[in-house]
Amino acid sequence: MTQFRPCIDLHAGQVKQIVGGTLDSKTSELQTNFVSPHPPAHFSQLYRDSRLTGAHIIMLGPGNTEAAREALAAWPGGLQVGGGINDKNAQEWIDAGAEKVIITSFLFPNGTFSQARLDAVLANLGGDSSKLVIDLSCRRRGDETWFVAMDKWQTITDMEVSQESISRLQPYCSEFLIHAADNEGLQRGVDELLIQKLAEWCSIPVTYAGGGRNIADLETVKRLSGGKVDLTIGSALDCFGGSGVTLAECVEWNQTQ
């Protein structure tokens, strides 16, 4: 059934909540909802104490390696990590304590999908697809079309998120993570059509992120997906300065499913 999945977003070594569409190299234009006074390990321990599995750490740009390692050390084997993962360091992150590694941009040199790069990442992981999450975070192009976005969601790739691409990729990974970048950080609700499509297309676990605000959104995702899609809530959470929902409420939701 649909579960709440927590996150730790790292930017410049700090835990932040950012409006996804503004995340580019021009820091002056970055729109930030929240900057935590706590170190990353604080959130790892919080999730561990709450028995919240499947949390993902996302390194948004450079300067986050030590922060991510700190978070992993606080809960070895309990967190996924993504951002800058490639065919040379994937296993290193598993060795550092990640349950799974999450990969996007490396798979799309010059915005074009590379099967050879996916094969190389899996080879670095000893062929173990259970350790790999493929991130197909995307942006809308038209009413019912989404394309994978890379480089902090600024570059649109040649891969449409569709039944064809999902079927092509899911033999190589254990789950998908899909941020709706146009909704990310805005707290305006989820992309309902995308959630419905993901439930139709995916036969392995999939987590949607982008726009989640409250328990009602968890109910919506559960209804639209028949319980097949999980939801990450970020900026709306009380532990990230939000007022839409408390972490305790999300924990209670998971326990009742």
85: left (phi over 0), alpha (psi -120 to 50) or beta: beta
What's residue 153's pLDDT? 77
What's the whole-number average pLDDT of the chain?
92
Task: Give the number of other CB atoms < 10 A from CB of residue 39.
Answer: 16
Judged by DSSP in three states, 102 sits in strand
Asked if residue 183 lies in contact with residue 21, where contact means CB atoms within 8 angstroms, the answer is no
- Sign (positive/negative) of CA torsion 99, 226, 47, 84? positive
In this prediction, residues 151-160 reach a mean pLDDT of 89
The domain made up of 4-256 has a fold known as TIM Barrel (3.20.20)
Q: What whole-number distance in Å separates Cα of residue 96 and Cα of residue 102? A: 14
What's residue 34's pLDDT? 73
In this prediction, residues 39-43 reach a mean pLDDT of 96
Residue with tokens 């994978």: 148
Q: Which residues contact 92 (CB under 8 A, 6 or more apart)?
A: none
Instruction: Say if residue 162 is exposed, middle or buried (CB neighbours under 10 Å; 0-12, 13-18, 19+).
Output: middle
Own/partner long-range contacts of 144-150 (Cβ < 8 Å, ≥24 apart): 144/193, 146/180, 146/194, 148/104, 148/108, 149/181, 150/104, 150/105, 150/108, 150/111
Task: Name the band, by pLDDT with cuts 50, 70 and 90, for residue 23.
Answer: low
Task: Give the number of other CB atoms < 10 A from CB of residue 109.
Answer: 13
* Percentage of residues in the chain having pLDDT higher than 90: 82
Asked if residue 171 lies in contact with residue 206, where contact means CB atoms within 8 angstroms, the answer is no
Instruction: Output Rg (C-alpha) for the chain, integer angstroms.
Output: 17
Judged by DSSP in three states, 55 sits in strand
What's residue 186's pLDDT? 58
Q: 106-137 pLDDT, tens per residue?
A: 999 999 999 999 999 999 999 999 999 999 99
